[in-house]
Amino acid sequence: MKISIRKGEKADLPAVLELIKELAVYEKAPDEVVVTVEEMERDGFGKNPVYWFHVAEVDSKIVGVALNYIRYSTWKGKCVYLEDIIVHETYRGNKIGKMLFERCIQDAKEMKAKRLVWQVLDWNEPAVNFYRKYNASFDEQWLNGALEYEQIQNFQLSE
């Protein structure tokens, strides 16, 4: 099997969104994916792109994706955030995730980023073990916080 990794393009977005939906099913949250191809096109290929991605292809078919963006640490400076690595279930075990992750590491290196950071669900043992092979550290102190779209839209400044 010949696997190639390349920078993602606008035309890849429908296939990328399908992989995102596959991941959501795996993570037991299939109804959480609300992003559209049009939003991804605007946000990744518009005037001010906020993310980039690489795809893995086998026989011209997209079978994996790694999506990143810049995050700024007040303590460290520029960091790369790896939002997701997704490999289609049929193609797992072929080192595609490794190839995508190493492409992300290379991007961070070329950008002189101070960190490459990501999150992984604590029950996702295959992913945790994958990152451990790179001697990644896991932080048990920090909690993830979030406000969802509706909460943001309903927000009123206090007087």
Residues acting as catalytic residues = 131
Q: CA–CA separation, 106 vs 120, rounded Å?
A: 20
Residue from 90, 38, 83 nearest 63 by CA? 90
The pair of structure tokens assigned to 47 is 């005037």
Centre a 10 Å sphere on the Cβ of residue 82 and count the other Cβ atoms it contains.
22
* Residue the block writes with tokens 């999506």: 67
Distance from the first to the final alpha carbon of the chain: 62
Q: Is there a contact between 100 and 87 (Cβ–Cβ < 8 Å)?
A: yes
Which residues, 6+ apart, have CB-to-CB distance to 80 below 8 Å? 68, 69, 70, 71, 104, 107, 108, 111, 113, 115, 116, 117
